[in-house]
Amino acid sequence: MPRTYVDDNFGVWDNMDDPDHREFYHQVQRESVRKKCQGCGRMVRLRPSYGICNSCAERAERGGDY
């Protein structure tokens, strides 16, 4: 079973058999800080420049209220 890569910044990561992509994933994890999502109020790990988690971002893309 291939490992599934998931985080609060981007949700599910694809193409993780690419070493460069895996390196980027680990970089994002290092940059991420524990913060409260401005959308749903959950404690999540996000990059400092991100204010909302992936599930809120997806909801916004579907025409939500952010």
Which residues form the interface with Zn ion (CB under 5 A)? 37, 39-40, 53, 56
Residues in the chain: 66
> How far apart (Å, rounded) are the C-alpha atoms in residues 7 and 10?
6
> How far apart (Å, rounded) are the C-alpha atoms in residues 26 and 2?
17
CB 7 → Zn ion: shortest distance, Å? 13
In the bound state with Zn ion, the residue whose beta carbon lies nearer, of 50 and 53, is 53
CB 55 → Zn ion: shortest distance, Å? 6
CB 56 → Zn ion: shortest distance, Å? 3
DSSP, res 1 = -
